Amino acid sequence: MSMIRRALFAALATLALALVPGALSAQEHDMGGDGASTFGEEFPHGVTFWTRREPVGCWLCDPSIDINYGLYQRSGDVPEDISENFLRLHTQFGTGVRHIALAVDLVWLPSLSKVSPDNFTIVAQYEPISQQKRLYANLGLGLIAGREQTAGENGFSPWAQATVAYRSKIHDIAPFVQAGRVLNGDNREFEFLFGLAHPIAPYRMHGLH
Tens-binned pLDDT, residue by residue, of the chain (209 aa): 454 445 444 544 544 454 444 433 333 444 545 665 444 456 666 789 998 887 777 888 888 899 999 999 987 655 567 889 999 999 999 998 989 999 999 999 988 766 677 889 999 999 999 888 899 999 999 999 976 655 444 578 999 999 999 999 888 899 999 999 999 877 678 999 999 999 986 554 444 43
Assign a CATH topology to domain 3-204.
Porin (2.40.160)
pTM: 0.76
Q: What is the pLDDT of residue 23?
A: 38
The residues spanned by each domain of the chain are: 3-204
Please confirm whether the linkage preceding 55 is cis (ω < 30° from 0). yes
Q: What is the pLDDT of residue 209?
A: 39
Q: What is the pLDDT of residue 25?
A: 39
Q: What is the pLDDT of residue 8?
A: 47
Q: What is the pLDDT of residue 65?
A: 93
Q: Are 160 and 172 in contact (CB under 8 A)?
A: no
